[in-house]
Structure 1
Amino acid sequence: METLDAVEVPIRRLDDGLLAASLVRASGPSPRRRPPHRAVPAADVSVLVPVHLGPDSGARDALGHAVRAAAESRRAGRLVAVDEVGADPRASALLALLEPEIVILASGMLTRRADSDVAPTLHAVAAHVERTGAVLVADGVDSLRHRRRALELGATHGLGRLYPPALRAEPAERFPPSPTWSTPDVETPTPYATVASGRVPVRSTEHLLARMTATLEAHAATAGPDTLVLGTFRHLDHFCASTRSRWSGMAGGVAHAGAYAVGMKAGVESGVVHTPLDPADPLAAEWNVVVLGAHFAGVLSAVSTHHRHPAGDREFDYVVSYDRPTVVRCARSILRRGPSPAARRGTG
C-alpha cells in the first residue's frame, strides 16, 4: 500500500468512448506510470495498489492495512478500487475481502496468451462483478487490438493511450451507478461475536470440532489461488503436528494462510504466516477457521465452556456460517488488528 498521489487518469467506456470518471492512482513500483493530467472528476476514487500476498511474514500486516484503508475510504465517501488484478493470481483474493466498486485488470492481461493463470483470475473477477455489480476496467488499452481483447475479458471500461486526457468538460456518467459492496463495515471484536449474533450456538465436544475444522480446511485446500485462510488456535499447544501438516499442505495453493495463537513465534513456517496473539486479546479465547475465496466462503467459530463432556472431552459452544458477508466480516475482524507487542518484537 502506498500513499495516494494527485495523478488522475480518465476511464472511458469501451463501446462509445464516453468519459466515465477520473481515477486517482496511487504512487508505487509499477513500471508504467503515465504523466499527470486533468480529467473530468465524475467520482472520487481511491485505488489500492495490490498487497503482496503469499508466504511472507509482512503479508498479514499489508492485508490489515488494506482492510483499514478501504474502511476509511468508504467513511470519507470515496469508492474503492483494486488495481493490477491479474498481475498475480493471488491478488484476486482482495476482491472478496475488500469488495471494491472498481476492478482494474493489469495491462498484462491484454497482451499475454490465455493460460492457467488468466482463467482463474477471470472466473474470480466474473464472480465478483456478478455478485456486486462492480465496474471492470482494463488497463493498457493502447490500441484497437487491446480494446478488442479488453472486451473479450469482460471489461466495460478502459484506460490507456487509446483514450487521451480530456481537454474540456465532457458528459460523464455516474461511476459506478450505485454502491456495490454488500458487507456493512461494522467492526466487531472477534469472529465469534460476528457469527453468534442472531444465531444459537451449538454445544459440542472438542473431537467433533476438530473433525469439522479439518473438513473446512479441506475445502480451503481446493478453493483456488484467490483464497484467504485464517485460523486462530488460542494457544500454540493447540496448533499440533497434524494441524501444522494440514496447513502446510494447504498453504501452497492459496493466496494467504495465516495462523494465530498465544505463544506462537512471528514468522513463516512451510508457507504459513504465524502471528502471536496477546493473551489479553479476546481473539485468544476463540477457535476460528475462516475461508474466503471467490467461489467459497465459510467460517467455524467456537469458545470453550470450561466444562468437560461426561466422556472426558472438553466442551465448546460453536457456530458456523457460509453467508458471505458474515465470513467477510470475520476475516476483516482478524486482519484489521495491528501487530501485537509480541509480533512487533518477533517473539512468542
Structure 2
Amino acid sequence: MANVSLGELRHRDSEFVRILRDRRFESVFQPIVHLASGATIGYEALVRGPAGSAFADAHTLLRHAYLSGRVAEFDWAARAAACRGAMAARLAPDHLLFINIEPLALGSDCPPDLWPDIEEAFTRFRVVLEVTERSLDRDPRSLLEGIDRQRPDVAGLAVDDLGANPAALSMLPVLAADVIKLDQAVIQGGPTPWAMRIMDIAYEEAERTGATILAEGVESPVHAAFARSAGAVLGQGFHLGPPAPLPAAGRTSPTPLTINSDPIPDLATPFDVLEERTTGRADIAYVNALSRHHADRAAELTAPALSLLLLPDPGLLTEADRARLARFTQRGVVTGALGPGLPDPPAAGVRGARLHDPALDGQWVALTLSPGTASAMLARVVPDGSDTFEYGVTHDRRRVVAAARCLLRRLGAGSA
C-alpha cells in the first residue's frame, strides 16, 4: 500500500464497498485433520473476493473492511458465503465447519438479506466460530457479551493464532475456548523458548478447561511431527490439505470429534465467587492494605496478564495508583478499574466503566490473572452501618477467572 496514491486508495475503497454491497464473496475450505488418525474432521472456511480482482484474497478484503468502517457487515457477508458453500457441497453433518469472526462484529445484528443462509447452515452443520486474535482486548465488555450471544447457536468457539498477540494470551482464560489454534510461528519455529512458553499456556488452559489444541501452519512432514510431539490433537496446513472448493457430498469422518470445554460460571457480582467462604471481617484500613498488597503483586506482571480493580469509593484511587495502572498497560497488561465515581478512563490505556452498575456498590476487588498465577481479594461492606467489610482471598484459578469475567463484562475500551 505504500506506493498507492490517495486517489487509487479511494478508488479501491469504493470498489470494495461495491463488492460488499453486491455480496460478491465466495469461500474456499481448508481441511482440519485429526493428527493421530489422519482423518479429516472438518474444514475452515476462508473468504475470497472476485477472482482476478485486487480483492481476491482475505487479507486485502479485511484491510479495506477496517479502512471503510464496515467490519461487521463484511464479517456477516463472509459468514454467509461460507454457509452457502457448505450447503452447496452438502457438507457431511458430522464434520465441523470453522467460520472466522471478527471480535468487533460479535455483538452486531445480521443484515436481513444474509440471515436465511446463515440460519439454515447453523441448523444443519456443527459450526465452530473462530475468533481472530485481532482486537481481542479492545473492548472486553462487547467481546464477552458477543460470545455469550453466539454460543447457544454453535457447536464450539475457537481462538485463532494463539501466540501472535499478547492480548489474545491475556484474554484466553476468560473466553473458555473449545479449540485453541496455535499460531503457525509456534509450529514452524521449532522448540524455541518463546514457543515453549506459548505451549505451556496452551497446556494449562487445555488441562483446566478440556479445550482441544489445533496446530496451524502444518506445511511439511517436519511441522506435522512437531505438532504431534507438542500434543496437538488437530492440524491444519498445506501438508494436510490446501484451501480448495469443498468436495461434493464429502465422506463422513470415522469418529465425529467432540469439542467441549468447561463453562465459566456466570456471576451476578464478583463477590459471589466466594460462595459464602469468607476469610473474615475487617475495617477499611485492613482491606485497603490487603488490596494494595495484591496491587504490588500485579506490579510484577508482564504480558500476557490481566489486572482488575473494583473500588467502593473513588477516593481510594490515588494519583500514584493511576500512574501505576498506566504503567501496567505500557507493559501490555490488560488493565481495568471501575467503581462509583471513577472516571472513564481511570488512567491512560486503562479500561473503565462508562455506566456504573449499582449491583457492585460496596464491593472491593483486587485481581490478577496470568499464566501460572491467579489471585483475588474480594470484599463487600457489611450492611450494619459499622464500616466493616467481609472479605475473602482466593488463589483458585477457576474462581479468579469467574470473578475476572464478571468484571470484564462491565468494562469498555481502553484509551489511547
TM-score interval (norm. to shorter): 0.7 to 0.9
Query: Does the aligned pair in 2 maintain the 1:139–1:159 contact within 8 Å?
Result: yes
Aligned counterparts of 1:31 and 1:133: Cα–Cα separation in 2: 35
Q: d(CA) in 2 for partners of 1:29 and 1:325?
A: 37
Structure 2 counterpart of 1:262: 340
Residues 1:79 and 2:156 are matched in the alignment: yes
Structure 1 residue 154: Cα displacement: 3.1
Paired amino acid for 1:18: A
Please show how residues 192-341 of structure 1 align to structure 2 within 5 Å. Answer: 192=271, 194-200=272-278, 202-267=280-345, 269-278=347-356, 281-305=358-382, 314-337=387-410
From 31, 46, 50, the equivalent of 2:129 is 46
| Structure 1 CA distance for aligned equivalents of residues 194 and 345 of structure 2 | 28
Code of the residue aligned with 1:20 in structure 2: it is I
The answer on whether the counterparts of 1:221 and 1:253 sit within 8 Å (CA) in structure 2 is no
Larger RCO of the pair (alpha carbons < 8 Å, separation 6+): 1
Contact kept, 8 Å, 1:14 with 1:156, in 2: the verdict is yes
Secondary structure of 1:298's partner?
strand
Q: Partner residue of 1:96? A: 173
Alpha carbons of 1:26 and 1:330: their partners in 2 closer, same or farther (altered >3 Å)?
A: farther
1:217 and 1:53, CA in 2 relative to 1: closer, same or farther beyond 3 A? farther
Is the 1:302–1:318 contact (alpha carbons within 8 Å) kept by the matching residues of 2? yes
Picking from 248, 264, 270, the partner of 1:191 is 270
Structure 1 contact 128–294 (Cα < 8 Å) conserved: no
CA distance in 2 between counterparts of 1:329 and 1:23 reads: 30
Deviation at 1:172, TM superposition (A): 4.1
**Matching of residue 174 in structure 1 with residue 248 in structure 2:** no
Distance 1:262 1:241, change over 3 A: same
1:11 and 2:32 aligned: yes
CA contact (8 A) 1:140 1:160 kept: yes
User: Equivalents in 2 of 1:338, 1:238: separation in Å?
Assistant: 19
The offset of 1:330, in angstroms, is 1.4
Q: Normalized against structure 1, the TM-score is what? A: 0.78
Q: 1:240 to 1:208 in 2, by over 3 A?
A: same
Distance 1:277 1:207 in 2: 28
Deviation at 1:81, TM superposition (A): 0.8
Which consecutive residues of structure 2, in runs of 5 or more, have no partner in the other structure?
A: 1-25, 49-56, 63-77, 97-125
Secondary structure in 2 matching 1:100: coil
Higher-Rg member (1/2): 2
In structure 2, how many angstroms separate the alpha carbons of the residues matched to 1:90 and 1:131?
20
* Aligned match of 1:107: 184
Count residues in correspondence.
Answer: 323
SS of equivalent to 2:339:
strand
Determine the C-alpha separation between the residues in 2 that align with 1:190 and 1:211: 22
Cα distance change on mapping 1:229 and 1:25 into 2, 3 Å? farther
Q: Distance in 2 between matches of 1:120 and 1:88?
A: 13
Letter in structure 1 aligned against 2:152: R
Is the partner of 2:311 in helix, strand or coil? strand
1:287-306 per-position Cα deviation (integer Å, ceiling 9, x unaligned) = 11222223222222222347
Cα gap change, 1:112 to 1:46, in 2 (>3 Å)? same
Cα separation, partners in 2 of 1:150 and 1:268, compared to 1, 3 Å: farther
TM superposition score normalised by structure 2: 0.66
For the aligned residue pairs, the C-alpha RMSD in angstroms reads 3.5
Q: Look up the equivalent residue of 1:323 and give its one-letter code.
A: D
Q: Give the superposition deviation at 1:245.
A: 4.0
Return 87-96 or 27-36, whichever deviates more. Answer: 27-36
Summarize deviations over 1:164-213 as a string: whole Å, max 9, x none.
3663314243323x5222523x3x32212x22433246210222212221
Mapping 1:126-141, distance limit 5 Å: 126-141=203-218
17, 22, 41: which one pairs with 2:43? 22
Classify 1:255/1:51 alpha carbon distance in 2 versus 1 (closer, same or farther; 3 Å): farther
Structure with the higher fraction of residues in helix conformation:
2
Match of residue 118 from structure 1: 195
Q: Compute the displacement of 1:237 (Å).
A: 2.1
Gaps in structure 1 of 5+ consecutive residues? none
Change beyond 3 A, Cα 1:8–1:331:
farther
* Aligned residue number for residue 147 of structure 2: 70
Paired with 1:271 and 1:203, the residues of 2 have a C-alpha distance of 34
Q: What amino acid does structure 2 have at the position aligned with 1:12?
A: V
What percentage of residue pairs aligned between the two structures are identical? 22
Given the superposition, is the C-alpha separation of residues 262 and 277 from structure 1 closer, same or farther in structure 2, using an over 3 Å criterion?
Answer: farther
The residue identity in structure 1 corresponding to 2:33 is: R
